[in-house]
Amino acid sequence: MTFELQYTDPKSNARAGKITTDHGVIETPIFMPVGTLGTVKGVHLSEIKEDIKAQIILGNTYHLYLRPGIEILEQAGGLHKFNGFDRPMLTDSGGFQVFSLAGIRKLTAEGAEFRSHIDGSKHFFTPEKVMDIERSIGADIMMAFDECPPGTSDYAYAKKSLALTHQWLDRCIKRFNETEPKYGYSQSLFPIVQGCVYKDLRQQSAEYIASKNADGNAIGGLAVGEPVEKMYEMIEVVNEILPKEKPRYLMGVGTPVNLLEGIERGVDMFDCVMPTRNGRNAMIFTRNGIMNMRNKKWENDFSPLDPDGTSYVDQMYSRAYVRHLFHAGEMLGMQIASIHNLAFYLWLVGEARKHIIAGDFSTWKPMMVRRLSERL
């Protein structure tokens, strides 16, 4: 994997670049749709590729390990062959799922013991096992196994957690270097900066991660309960240290405004379930603001769902019809909203890239933040 930094905004840290992998090129900044179980919920692969124009999607190590299981994925020839997506993919490490399963998991220096949310069976993730699983899944970008502490963690817990994440990273790197890709193309390993909301811990972690000289670096443990201002502060602290010649990935973030704020602070890659999860709950993101498709105001509005939208669903379906689908409990409403939101997110980062290249991102961004925050 290679990264070329092409443009930098003259008045901020916003960047435009190009990541090249064996499965294709990714133009940054980029948003990555979340395909937890090898599928982006409610969206056909053809729509992901041709309408939404996703350049890269995610898979989830924890979930794919449980279902369909590593044996099936290896028999298929990896996740690319299993789900038919022939463009770049990234897998997280399962660290966030371990965090979210706090009630049914146990952490030790060796790894994380947890019970399956499906059947209660007991499993144990070590850094070495996670690397092996991610090799079997076969994503172009693999994430290191880490602990993601809650955003409200006290300093003592955050410091202890960070030490564990760094120990696990060293073991991940060792295992990664001891093993080879299984399907004839290269894979890259990204370390993850942790440290909760504590500046000195974030600085220590960013310096430690930067010293590993990985192909790219991630910022984790944000948007997990801390105030949004703290999130932005931690991004700034970390990106002052992470190397400029490597892509920076902000994990699990977030709203359209979060994306623009992250881009302004030097982030290149994003992922979040919000466009599909909120879409399934009738929330539509547009360049003019946010629409709740359950609202009565759309009941007899027969104008296009989003006249300015980039997806085929925006012109094909009226607001009244989409509202009807949600009130009737029809699955099509959730599909339409998911497709629209994903296309919008990809449009937004694409527009940010255009304005970075044009040199006027710093003028365009505050105007967009105001518009995106409106409730329609």
Longest dimension (CA), the chain: 62
Active-site entry in 92, 146, 268, 314: 92
Q: Is 271 a catalytic residue?
A: yes
Q: Where are the beta strands (DSSP E) in the chain?
A: 2-8, 15-21, 24-28, 30-32, 57-60, 89-92, 105-107, 112-115, 122-125, 141-143, 188-190, 192-193, 217-219, 248-250, 269-271, 283-286, 289-292
Burial of 351 (C-beta count, 10 Å sphere; 0-12/13-18/19+): middle
Active-site entry in 140, 215, 271, 306: 271
Is 94 within 8 Å of 60 (Cβ atoms)?
A: yes
Alpha-carbon distance of 299 to 322, in angstroms, equals 9
Q: Is 200 a catalytic residue?
A: no
Q: DSSP code of 25?
A: E
Inter-axis angle of helices 199-210 and 228-239, nearest 10 = 40
What is residue 181's three-state secondary structure? coil
String of DSSP letters for 232-247: HHHHHHHHTTS-TTS-
Nearby residues of 132 by Cβ (< 8 Å), 6 or more positions away: 175, 179
Is 7 within 8 Å of 357 (Cβ atoms)?
A: yes
Cite the active site residues. Answer: 92, 271
